[in-house]
Chains A and B, each alone.
Chain A
Amino acid sequence: MTQSEFLNVVMPFKDKLYRLAKRLLVSSEEAEDATQEILMKLWSNNKSIGKYKNVEAFAMTMTKNFCLDRLKSKQSSNLKLVHSNYHDGATSLQRQVEAKDSVSWVERIMEDLPEQQKMVLQLRDVEEYDYDEIAKLLEMKPTAVRVTLSRARKAVREKLLEKHRYGIG
């Protein structure tokens, strides 16, 4: 497989990898690094890439494992300090931000979810994968996926309602 063929295979889902990585690692820099790393890994064994039935699913699983490893490793113990991609509300007019803000609440709420819930929510509600695919990607049972998804959605709802009631927390 040549480099351009490889890119043709990989480019359609590159952003999905990035978004999943960012969901887990929060920092967009870290997520870019992770995406790059995954693509490099895929490229380095590109001879066997034809063997995988679904390269995208394979890459997503790789991303998941890679990011979870990153989170586990000591290297990332100061990761939380790194991310700088919050919108700085102070610089713009409050009024302008307000509409966007309630949307970015959801982003922050999702940051606090457990990894498993984050991933399920990301894959289902953002990327719109179906349950079987998610189960395969995350190496979970389909029923477990549903349970986790329901919990994640309810957790987001609860936090969101809290904010809604008390204003910006």
Chain B
Amino acid sequence: MESVNIEKLLEKYFEATTTAAEEKQLKEYFTQGDVAPHLEQYAPMFSYFSVAKEERSTRQVSLKTRRYIYQWVSVAAVAVIALGVFFGRDYQEQKEAEFAYLETRKALTLLAANLDRGTEKVAYLNEFEEAKQKIYKNN
């Protein structure tokens, strides 16, 4: 194909006024290998377009699977939260009970200590009583 014709087509090409058929002609010219030297600089463009068209997606299409995973994730999350609240409350109650027990124990210890002190004082009273008895006996 004469390069004059190609030059004209190129001009139209860059003005985006070429038809699909003309563009095909250009592509064919630039990919067949025998390109006029002064037009060689345009070759990579057209060969790239042909290469780019061959690119394929390699991943298999999977329908559904992902969606289901997300659904189950939400179910699992709800379960975890529910269990957390349930056992969390149990734990809280246990803590409260323990605290109450400790407080009660403290109070009882205090009471016991004071009672001991009370009996000590009562011991003095006994002394007094004994002394009184002695005096009674002597008289």
Which residue numbers of A lie inside 8 Å of B, CB to CB? 3, 6-7, 10-11, 14-15, 17-19, 22, 31-32, 35-36, 39-40, 43-44, 102-107, 122, 125-128, 130, 146-147, 149-150, 153-154, 156-157, 160-161, 164
Chain B residue numbers with a CB within 8 Å of A11 are 61
Of chain A, the residue at the smallest CB distance from B52 is A126
B57 within 8 A of A: yes
- The answer to whether A40 touches B44 (Cβ under 8 A) is no
B48 within 8 A of A: yes
- The answer to whether B15 touches A150 (Cβ under 8 A) is yes
Chain B residue numbers with a CB within 8 Å of A122 are 52
- The answer to whether A153 touches B49 (Cβ under 8 A) is no
Chain B residue numbers with a CB within 8 Å of A126 are 49, 52-53
In the bound assembly, the distance between CA atoms of A11 and B57 in angstroms comes to: 11
Of chain A, the residue at the smallest CB distance from B19 is A130
Tell me the interface secondary structure of chain A in the complex.
Answer: helix
Tell me the interface secondary structure of chain B in the complex.
Answer: helix
- Extra inter-chain contacts (12) besides given A104-B48, A126-B49, A126-B52, CB under 8 Å: A3-B63, A7-B61, A18-B55, A39-B63, A43-B64, A102-B44, A122-B52, A127-B53, A128-B20, A130-B20, A150-B14, A160-B41
- The answer to whether B52 touches A40 (Cβ under 8 A) is no
Question: Closest 6 A-B residue pairs measured CB to CB?
Answer: A18-B57, A106-B48, A150-B16, A149-B16, A102-B44, A32-B59
Inter-chain CB contacts under 8 Å: number? 82
B66 within 8 A of A: yes
Which residue numbers of B lie inside 8 Å of A, CB to CB? 13-17, 20, 23-24, 41-45, 47-49, 51-53, 55-59, 61-64, 66-67
Chain B residue numbers with a CB within 8 Å of A153 are 13-14, 16
With A43-B63, A150-B14 as known contacts, state yes or no: A157 contacts B53, CB within 8 Å. no
- The answer to whether A146 touches B42 (Cβ under 8 A) is no
In the bound assembly, the distance between CA atoms of A127 and B14 in angstroms comes to: 18
Of chain B, the residue at the smallest CB distance from A120 is B16
